[in-house]
Amino acid sequence: MIALGGPIVFAFDQLDGLVRQTKIVVGNESGETAGARRYRDDIATTLTELREETRRTLLVVACQTESWRAISRSSLLSANERFDVLPELGAIPDKATARRIVSARFGPRYAAIGFTPTYDTWPVNDSALAEAPDRYTARRLIMRINQHVTACVAARRTAELVTLAETAAPRPTR
């Protein structure tokens, strides 16, 4: 019914907590109980039914690789036949990629309020961006930047993020 109005995206995020519940019940991978198997199969069945019954719908499941392995072990889910498993995102490969991630994060918000920053990644300095390659994922970088912005708001002052090290104190902007 929902897709009658147009194509939709049905996204599941954070399935890891549900999958972890099966491990809590199980206690370890080798001695899976019937209850834990049923719980895992319920997750797999729900995803399979949604995949098979929906039309004009993109079904997206975002979870850790280990969680997907647990779900796809269900005899009720032929994951390889019904779902395209995309490669796991790794670390940011270079400073230019880190710059694009940060610019994409801040740019639309700055434009919406009519703010023109001194540089496109402001308040994240190039020295901080240089620390991201091979050490930070996009998610971890954004989380670190959000932590810095939250600290600035709490301190009621603007400061550049000059290093991604979490112990660094914010340096006030000139």
> For 153-164, how does the pLDDT look when each residue is reduced to its tens digit (9 = 90+)?
999 999 999 999
Cβ proximity of 15 and 67 under 8 Å: yes
pLDDT score at 170:
55
Category of 156 on φ-ψ map: left (φ > 0), alpha (ψ -120 to 50) or beta = left
Q: What percent of the chain has pLDDT over 70?
A: 82
Bridge partners of 58, per DSSP, are: 9
Categorize the per-residue pLDDT at 26 as very low, low, confident or very high, splitting at 50, 70 and 90: very low
Q: What percent of the chain has pLDDT over 90?
A: 43
Residue ranges per structural domain of the chain: 7-82, 95-172
Give the 3-state secondary structure percentages of the chain, helix then strand then coil, rounded to 5. 50, 10, 35
DSSP state of 8: E
Q: Give the up-direction half-sphere exposure of residue 156: CA atoms within 13 A in the CB hemisphere.
A: 0
* Among 37, 43, 48, 42, residue whose Cα is nearest residue 63: 43
Task: Identify each DSSP E strand in the chain by its residue range.
Answer: 8-13, 57-62, 159-160, 171-172
Question: For 140-150, what is each residue's pLDDT tens digit?
Answer: 999 999 999 99
Quote the mean pLDDT of the chain.
Answer: 83
126 pLDDT higher than 60 = yes
Categorize the per-residue pLDDT at 76 as very low, low, confident or very high, splitting at 50, 70 and 90: low
